[in-house]
Structure 1
Amino acid sequence: MINVGLRGYLWDKKPREAKVARELWTCNSATYHDYRGFIGYAKEYGFPDQQLSRMARRVTNDSVGSVEPSDMSFASSMASFSSGPQPVPYHFAGMKQIFDDSKVPVTVVCFGRLSSDLLAWGTADGVVRVAIIGDESYVMHEFRRHTRAVTEIDWTLDNSCLLTSSLDGTTCMWLANSGRLARTFTTESGALSCRFHQVNQNLIMVGTAAGEVEVFNCSTGMSQGYSVLYSAGYPEGLGACAMCCSNNMLYVGDTQGNVHSYRCDIKDGVLQALSFLGRTVCPTGKPAEVSSLMHTAYCVHAKGPGLLLSSANNSVCILKPLDAAGKLEVVAKAQMPIAARKIKAIFCPTLNYNEPEYIAMGGEDTGVYVYDITRKTKRGPTIVNKLQGHLAPVVDVSWSYDECLFASCDCDGVVIVWKRDKGMQYQGS
């Protein structure tokens, strides 16, 4: 299966002229994305002429001499080049593994990059666990350096290192294979968020409870850049951070619900400046701490790169970067069910470029949900699927690299790995 995120990353690397040419390309009134969807469907089910010939042989051999209604509907759907199939989104085949090693709430869970066999999660007592997911899943490492709750986890692109931050003010870089602590970065206030720089993985960004954004060099452990958030007199910290690696943009959410845009100016592997570009004030509409902030290389609503923001006021919104100056525009927004905790949200893998964007997040009622936030009901956004298996509120979720596994964690210390139903997946990307 072609990974949509990787294709989006490669697409983002193309020059502007190539992007414009791709968007303007048509064939029989069908766009390039329709063409890709048609080819993906044909690889699995065959081209229309092959399907119609099989149907014709079936009719010839049938004594009644009639075509089944399902065959007729299939032929009708395949008659149009751009129509494509209607996929059944996000079906799961049950649980693959349950980890219940922790007796305190799990605060964050994260799959490794470019791999689906590594899963890490952090707990409220500062313990970080790394598990191997396979035919026989098991916990490979337990890291016990933090003394307070783990707030964020991030992996390097090759999964060789793991970055964790904690409310005790420490950010630790671990060697994933050996489990050895490679470096500890200390800030004066609690570390609320951390990220590896996606272009230069020797740099990490840390956001603190005091509203500081600090860039460290992993080799030396020294600070290379520093900035303090300010928003109407509330420099009170960061809720999350996400970075667009194509243009060295860094987006940071704060405790008042604002999103701050930065540019990391790097030359010869050295950070020259951490430049503040501007802020988007309360995109959800009301001041509330940002629970999570996620970047994707391609978002259907934004028709390009997009940011997914969830906040403590039970709102989620999708933001579209407008230009290199860091301006953001809200393209979709929804009010989620009321929760007493910060519930993080993530983008779901794109099934089809013609389909709306789905998001996944936990719930206060112990359920795990897949939502279509563009279709509203009286009770909120449309629920596409619901997973039940937790006995406590679910606070964080994560997709694996190949999009076949899905992890969720709850306040009872349980992590569940779900198997995606391959038979129901539409590989039209």
Structure 2
Amino acid sequence: MGGEMIMDHTVRKQYLRLRGQLLQQRYGVPADQISESPDIFKLQSSSYLTAGHGEVVPTKQAEASRAIVGGNTIAENYAFVGVHHIFDQHTDAVTMIKFGNNDRSRLCCASLDGLVSVCDVASSPPKVLFILHGHEKGVTVKVSFLNSILHAGNSSGMVAVLNISTGIYPRGGSSKVGGKILSLTFDAAGRLLWCGNDKGTIVSFLFELGSGRLSKCRRISVSEGCGITCLSFRAWISREARDPSVLVNCAANTICLFRVRDKEGSLVLRRKFIIHHQKYLVRSTFCPIMSFRQGACVVTGSEDSCVYFLDIEREGRPAIVNKLQGHASPVLGVTFNYDESLLATSDCHGLVIVWKREKR
């Protein structure tokens, strides 16, 4: 048994070394910027990282946003010149990754191996800060924008609310959705919550901030029997006008953009895009900076091992503006840091690649 474990570890190190060489040839990743698995049994921490999405409010006076974005096209803005680092601390699929809120360097990774890791991508070299133990199965979590409320969904189809400051589940703060909950998101105010399950259904809830009570509102069927693997809310799609929207990954080979129609969370389909997605927990995200460029971009994983950048406002032309190839298995998680200087992507083999964008 011990010999088999040593052999598996040796094979994995050889695979990672070969993969690094291939990526170095294609993207120019330095040979010393590849992290091997640390001795996770020596890492102990009771801390955990929480993060939420920031909001961008476009105005003509927002000179800082204009300076960050520049005057380039969508394709030029999302041109990547190389791989910043490769992390390999997980032994199973990394299903969710997230940079900290307003943080360029801290990256949280959740894996089906039951571990949650936190990495520092800005250190020299980038490193794994600590690994959290204790989980046995995958859990979907979402933290409110104010970092005060945690919504959790599980494989039993139950959604629940937890007050982070007190650790208390408030009375009336749970509800049965049905199926297995795969994804969660809520609006900027933290009053509307959407849950997606493995049956192809999205359910909206009203959340009372004072009492913590959840009230079920609307049920939206996207594609019967096809899992809703990711939900993302954005109040502003572009610089033109406020347009609350929800981005949806559905395991029917589609990624959909819905408009939020009313205060009860009803959704109306705006656009649908075709990607490779039928089996895995593929995720997507709105790009953080959108206020002063033509078009609006999202990035999504795919089961063809590629990362796609889509212009969701491009009419009459192909929506794909860029594609990254570097993974050897389906790409699941995608996340930008807040200034879009780095993009992290994860796959079914447990690899996390941090990509660096071309300097403007």
- So what's the TM-score if we normalise by structure 1? 0.64
Please say if residues 242 and 252 of structure 1, whose CA atoms lie closer than 8 Å, have aligned partners that are also in contact: yes
How many Å separate the matches in 1 of 2:98 and 2:190?
24
* 8 A contact 2:73–2:294 mirrored in 1: no
Indicate whether 1:421 and 2:345 are aligned. Answer: no
State the one-letter code of the partner of 2:231. Answer: L
1:295 aligns with 2:229: no
Structure 1 residue 255 and structure 2 residue 198: aligned? yes
Q: Which runs of 5+ in 1 are unaligned?
A: 12-31, 46-83, 149-165, 167-190, 424-429
Residue matched to 1:145: 134
Identity of aligned residues (%): 28
Paired residues of 2:254 and 2:277 also in contact (CA < 8 A)? no
State the distance in 2 between where 1:85 and 1:196 align.
33
Question: Where does 1:216-231 land on structure 2 (aligned, <5 Å)?
Answer: 216-224=162-170, 225-230=172-177
The Cα of 1:350 is off from its aligned counterpart by: 4.1
Query: Who is 2:145 aligned against?
Result: 198
5 Å-filtered alignment, 1:134-213, equals 134=122, 135-148=124-137, 166=138, 191=139, 193-199=140-146, 201-213=147-159
Look at both structures and tell me which one has the larger radius of gyration over its CA atoms: 1
Distance 2:162 2:290 in 1: 37
Identify the structure with the greater strand proportion.
1
Change (3 A) 1:276 1:120: same
Report the CA distance between 1:146 and its aligned residue. Answer: 1.2
- Check conservation: 2:159, 2:174, Cα contact below 8 A: yes
Q: Deviations over 1:173-202 (max 9, x none)?
A: xxxxxxxxxxxxxxxxxx4x2122334x34
Q: Is the 8 Å Cα contact of residues 244 and 295 (structure 1) preserved in structure 2?
A: yes
Which position in structure 2 is the counterpart of 1:240? Answer: 183
Question: Aligned-pair distance for 1:259?
Answer: 1.7
For the aligned residue pairs, the C-alpha RMSD in angstroms reads: 3.0
Of residues 320, 329, 339, the one that matches 1:402 is: 339
Give how far 1:104 is off.
2.3
Alpha-carbon distance, 1:354 to partner: 5.8
SS of the residue 1:40 aligns to: helix
Note the 1:322-337 alignment, pairs <5 A: 322-337=261-276
Q: Would the alpha carbon gap of residues 353 and 276 (structure 1) be closer, same or farther in structure 2, given more than 3 Å must change? A: farther
1:12-411 equivalences in 2 (<5 Å): 40=66, 86=73, 88-134=76-122, 135-148=124-137, 166=138, 191=139, 193-199=140-146, 201-224=147-170, 225-230=172-177, 235-246=178-189, 248-267=191-210, 270-271=211-212, 273-282=213-222, 285-300=223-238, 303-351=242-290, 353=292, 355-373=294-312, 375=314, 381-411=318-348
Partners of 1:242 and 1:293 within 8 A in 2 = yes
Superposed displacement of residue 376, structure 1: 7.8
Match of 1:223, SS state, is: coil
Aligned residues: 304
Deviation at 1:121, TM superposition (A): 0.6
Q: Which residue of 2 is the match for residue 7 of structure 1? A: 56
- CA distance in 2 between counterparts of 1:405 and 1:194 reads 23
Change (3 A) 1:359 1:122: same
CA contact (8 A) 1:339 1:363 kept: no
